[in-house]
């Protein structure tokens, strides 16, 4: 019977020491009455570790593993190694959810749906309508966030240190609707009124607790709200700076739980026990 399966799940990427996913999924499996484990599979920087990644994907294809999440820096790197992309992953050009279907490796993107759900909670709570969003970064998470913001009717500016990466991202989404600027103080302060700042970079993530993606000495946009995808620590330096300026803030724990719940449901076919998963992540 299906409920007698021992689910072997995990997270692949680097670094992984900050991850809360094992605790969240272990509690979810137990609450759903399922046997299984969720392990961390750290992949050292590519290309020297490409064989390690391929071995993991082969295990998934053979059924030795039942599902993998993908985090930085592999959300785009893994795409050519898959057999099929679900529409969300294909449009965004990044994946964080892998599974095997009919002998084929499939990639999907639960980041986008997870961000959409949590962003709606945030904007509803602070009565923030669609406006001008400034996205910091141009990696796999930025692709998901930008796609959601565009779909929800936001004007989007992407600020990134790697201009070419940002340009490629914009061209793959909606090139005529995404403004690109360098992640530098003078370029950011020159922007028209910004209502929402979203950090998609790992700056400030444990153990780099003093890190921040925001240029030193530059004030955050007056009247804006700040959303930081970093979830460990729950209170990043960026969020502290925003609160000190009187701005509403939200960290990445809510998005983390939502994408974990969507992954859990895809892998197991069972409803995700969201209250238990939120509790495991330290949310009320």
- Asked whether residue 59 falls in the same domain as residue 139, the answer is no
Is 99 found in the same domain as 26?
yes
**What pLDDT is stored for residue 1 in this prediction?**
42
Residues 241 and 270 in one domain: no
The predicted model scores a pTM of 0.94
Q: Do residues 146 and 174 share a domain?
A: yes
For residues 165 and 76, state if they share a domain.
no
Size (the chain), residues: 284
Selecting among 25, 27, 75, 132, the annotated active-site residue is 75
| 241 and 262 assigned to the same domain | no
Helix (H) or strand (E) holding 199: strand 196-199
First-to-last C-alpha distance (Å) of the chain: 34
Cis amide bond preceding 280, omega within 30? no
- Residue 4's pLDDT is what? 77
Q: Which residue is it, tokens 């920087």?
A: 45
Under DSSP, is residue 146 helix (H, G, I), strand (E, B) or coil?
helix
Does residue 179 sit within a domain? yes
Number of domains in the chain: 2
Question: Residues 234, 259: one domain?
Answer: no
Cα–Cα distance measured from residue 214 to residue 22, given in angstroms and rounded to the nearest whole number:
30
The per-residue DSSP string of 42-99 comes to E-PSSSTTHHHHHHHHHHHHHTS--EEEE-TT-TTTTGGG-SEE-HHHHHHT--SEEE
Question: Residue 261 class from Cβ within 10 Å (0-12 exposed, 13-18 middle, 19+ buried)?
Answer: buried
Q: Can you give the pLDDT at residue 271? A: 98
Residue 97 and residue 42 share a domain? yes
Residues 135 and 190 in one domain: yes
Check if 75 is active-site: yes
- The per-residue pLDDT for 49 is 75
Is residue 91 a part of any domain in this protein? yes
Q: Is 122 part of any domain?
A: no
Taking alpha carbons only, the member of 99, 92, 85, 103 closest to residue 56 is 99
Same domain, 20 and 93: yes
Per-residue pLDDT of the chain (284 residues; tens, 9 = 90+): 445 799 999 999 998 988 999 999 999 999 999 999 999 999 977 777 788 999 999 999 999 999 999 999 999 999 999 999 999 999 999 999 999 999 999 999 999 999 999 999 999 999 999 999 999 999 999 999 999 999 999 999 999 999 899 999 999 998 778 999 999 999 999 998 999 999 999 999 999 999 999 999 999 999 999 999 999 999 999 999 999 999 999 999 999 999 999 999 999 999 999 999 999 999 96
| Per-residue model confidence (pLDDT) at position 158 | 97
Regarding whether 200 and 259 lie in a shared domain, the answer is no
CB 71 within 8 A of CB 137: no
Instruction: Please indicate, yes or no, if residue 120 is contained in any of the structural domains.
Output: no
- CATH classification at residue 223: 3.40.50.720
Please indicate, yes or no, whether residues 92 and 193 belong to a single structural domain of this protein: no
Residues of the domain holding 72: 2-108+255-280
Does 42 reside within a domain?
yes
């Amino acid at each position: 019977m299906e409920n007698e399966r021992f689910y072997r799940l995990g997270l692949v990427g680097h670094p992984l020491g900050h991850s809360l996913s094992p605790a969240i999924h272990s509690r979810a499996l137990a609450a759903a009455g399922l046997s299984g484990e969720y392990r961390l599979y750290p992949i050292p920087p590519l290309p020297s570790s490409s064989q390690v990644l391929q071995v993991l994907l082969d295990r998934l294809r053979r059924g030795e593993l039942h599902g993998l999440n993908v985090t930085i820096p592999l959300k785009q790197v893994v795409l050519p190694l898959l057999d099929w992309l679900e529409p969300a992953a294909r449009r965004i050009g990044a994946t964080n959810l892998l599974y095997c279907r009919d002998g084929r490796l499939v990639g999907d993107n639960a980041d986008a749906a997870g961000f959409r759900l949590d962003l709606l909670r945030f904007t509803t709570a602070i009565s923030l309508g669609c406006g001008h969003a400034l996205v910091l970064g141009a990696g796999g998470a930025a692709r998901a966030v930008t796609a959601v913001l565009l779909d929800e009717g936001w004007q989007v500016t992407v600020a990134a240190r790697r201009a070419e990466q940002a340009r490629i991202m914009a061209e793959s989404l909606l090139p005529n609707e995404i403004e690109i600027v360098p992640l530098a103080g003078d370029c950011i302060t020159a922007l028209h009124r910004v209502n929402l700042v979203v950090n998609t970079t790992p700056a400030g993530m444990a153990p780099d607790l003093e890190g921040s993606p925001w240029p030193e000495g530059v004030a955050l946009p007056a009247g804006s709200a700040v959303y930081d995808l970093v979830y460990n620590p729950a209170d990043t330096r960026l969020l502290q700076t925003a609160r000190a300026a009187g701005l509403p803030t939200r960290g990445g724990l809510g998005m983390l739980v939502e994408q974990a719940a969507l992954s859990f449901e895809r892998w197991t076919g069972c409803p995700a026990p969201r209250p238990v998963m939120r509790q495991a992540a330290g949310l009320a």
